Amino acid sequence: MKIFDAIGRVFLRVFEQTGLWFDAFWRTLTSAFRPPFDISEWFRQMVRLGVNSIPVVFLTTMFTGMVLALQTYNGFQRVHAEQFVGSVVALAMLRELAPVLVGLMVTGRVGSSMAAEIGTMRVTEQIDALKALATDPMQYLFVPRVIAGIVMLPFLVILGDALGLYGGYLVAVKLMHANPVVYEQNTYQFLDLNDMWSGLIKAAVFGLILTLTGCVRGYYTTGGAEGVGRATTYAVVSASLIILLSDFFLTKLLF
């Protein structure tokens, strides 16, 4: 019987969390269009999420582009298809790797800190204090963060795209002695503007997922410092999982 009990609990939890997430999504959406608009807070969050994430994005995407070129060059050499390395790197970076890697890295960097920050506000009664000061905490805390996620992730991904392509170029040309002109030609030959757009749409969706999950996990924190720690972990784990799952469905949809 115990096992059914446990399964039931897991299901209840999943449904509860899903419900809370969509409830928060709806309330954030509706309150985003209602005054007061804390524009300065929006920008503060954009800087925190976007600008401050540039170093992480820089290293992650650049090295991914580099290793991708290295690996495919190695493999493609065996079937004498080196000329496709540029195309593979470009397609993989733009459509898939840049959005997902940037999404996961920003989840670790920013989603976690949002959960910790809002969770601490919860356990120290600052959320109640916001309400007591006639302020809707979801509007005040969630809206600027979610907007920052939706707006800034695509920009980070554009940066990531460029760096990934450049990393691939560096390895292929400098390390593998590919012909730079041919490599560049191959990079853009099979590339479509839609490849970039699909990556950017994904990025915006991931931005929504990682910020809202961080906020919701923090908002419903229970049980002191330990609870804040738990909220932070769950925020990163669940946001990462949702990003990876939704990535498949988005790809299917946007193909």
Instruction: Catalog residues that contact another protein under the rule CB under 8 A.
Output: 36, 117, 120-121, 123-126, 128-129, 131-136, 220, 222-223, 227
Residue 142 C-beta: closest distance to another protein, Å: 14
Of 42, 238, 229, 5, nearest to 147 (Cα)?
42
Residue 128 C-beta: closest distance to another protein, Å: 6
Cβ distance to another protein smaller for residue 187 or 221: 221
Residue 146 C-beta: closest distance to another protein, Å: 18
Cβ distance to another protein smaller for residue 60 or 221: 221
Cβ distance to another protein smaller for residue 3 or 132: 132
d(CA 190, CA 91): 8
The DSSP element (H or E) to which 249 belongs, if any, is helix 224-254
| Cα three-residue angle 166-164-112, rounded to 5 degrees | 145
**Is residue 167 a contact partner of residue 61, using CB atoms and an 8 Å limit?**
yes
Tokens of 189: 């030959």
Residue 118 C-beta: closest distance to another protein, Å: 11
Q: Tokens 């600027």 appear where?
A: 144
Cβ distance to another protein smaller for residue 76 or 140: 140
